[in-house]
Amino acid sequence: MKILVTGGTGFIGSHTCVKLLEADHQVVIMDNLVNSRQEIVSKIETLGKKNVVFYQGDIRDTKRLEEIFSNHHIDAVIHFAGLKAVGESVSIPLEYYDNNVNGSIQLLKVMKKYDCKKIVFSSSATVYGMNDNVPFKEDYPLSTTNPYGATKKMIEEILQDLYVGDPEFSIALLRYFNPIGAHPSGLIGENPNGIPNNLLPYVAKVASGELEQLSVFGDDYDTIDGTGVRDYIHVQDLAEGHIAALEYIKNNQGVEAFNLGTGQGYSVLQVVKAFEKASGKRVKYQIVDRRPGDIGSCYASTQKSKNILRWEAKLDLDTMCFDAWNYVQTFKNS
């Protein structure tokens, strides 16, 4: 299949592109490079041992989208493109709604125009809000605590409505939890522009001496050590989940949501200790106030993905931290 991957040079997108190439798919990437680098394209090609087609562009740019769809017979879309930081979304909500929701609408309009009706959407566990018991199950009622989560929930609702209006669509909503790690080669990993918004790249920058210390947002949650508990999943496992979802929508019409996680939660301090073990470095941290919109515990029920997608995460926290540190060292020495 020829797959358009929006946001394909980002952290999860780049690893998924490699898996797509390994599975013999053709890959077209569209990315505006707001939070990634064009050099990732050649690294994807090196790891996947095949060429990809790259377009720099924004998903809100319908002319650029139409150029891609008119130049290529796109069989399916894996849609990663979007702003993705919870804290930042509270500060700049309009940018999040414009980029994530409006951008997705423009993409879907062009897909319909060119009769491309298969899409895997990069959703998030943030759609579960604060009111549900862990582990989170796909049939829980949805609610959100921040604009980032709200954009993901809105796009899910748009996709549900799209299917009602056009039952030829095949849609997988992938609600993933907290991706960390890196490709074992060290060639690609998470290296956001500027100060990281996510835990592990921040921890890595503290371990490598680039940042002085980690701020831990709250130590008074009802968890093992008072710090927030999350379901951390290796990005390699997550990328495999997208391949499984692509196979699913190839053969099934309709809309289905799937959790992609390990089903196990780790606290912030447990991750810090695991990273210290992997790196041999001390990670200095300080406890600060809770962050607006955060919840105490968040981890997945993975049964539906196991049963329907025949997918489950295999890599443990130590491997996630080791691969992430290996990427930091490789990137620093390149």
Contact 191, 202 (CB under 8 A): no
Burial 299-320 (b: 16+ CB within 10 A, else e): bbbbebbeeebebbbebebebb
pLDDT of 32 higher than 90: yes
Residue 232 is a catalytic residue: no
How far is CA 61 from each of CA 6, 159, 273, rounded to the nearest angstrom?
Answer: 12, 20, 44
Closest CA to 213 of 286, 104, 126, 311: 286
* Axis-axis angle for helices 199-207, 268-279 (nearest 10): 40
**pLDDT confidence tier of residue 293, bands split at 50, 70 and 90:** low
pTM metric for this prediction: 0.95
| Residue recorded with tokens 């790891």 | 47
- State which CATH number among 3.30.70.270, 3.30.420.40, 3.40.50.720, 3.40.50.2000 fits the domain covering 2-181+233-261+301-314: 3.40.50.720
Lowest-confidence range among 26-35, 173-182, 189-198? 189-198
Q: Where are the domains of the chain?
A: 2-181+233-261+301-314, 199-228+264-299+319-329
Tell me, what's the pLDDT at 334?
A: 62
When pLDDT is averaged across residues 9-30 and rounded to a whole number, the result is 97
Note the pLDDT tens digit of each residue in 78-115: 999 999 888 889 999 999 999 999 999 999 999 999 99
Which numeric CATH code is attached to 199-228+264-299+319-329?
A: 3.90.25.10
Catalytic residue among 148, 202, 248, 327: 148
Q: Residues 122-149: pLDDT tens digits?
A: 999 989 977 668 899 999 999 998 899 9
Lowest mean pLDDT among 149-163, 224-238, 280-294: 280-294
Looking at this protein, which amino acid is placed at residue 100? N
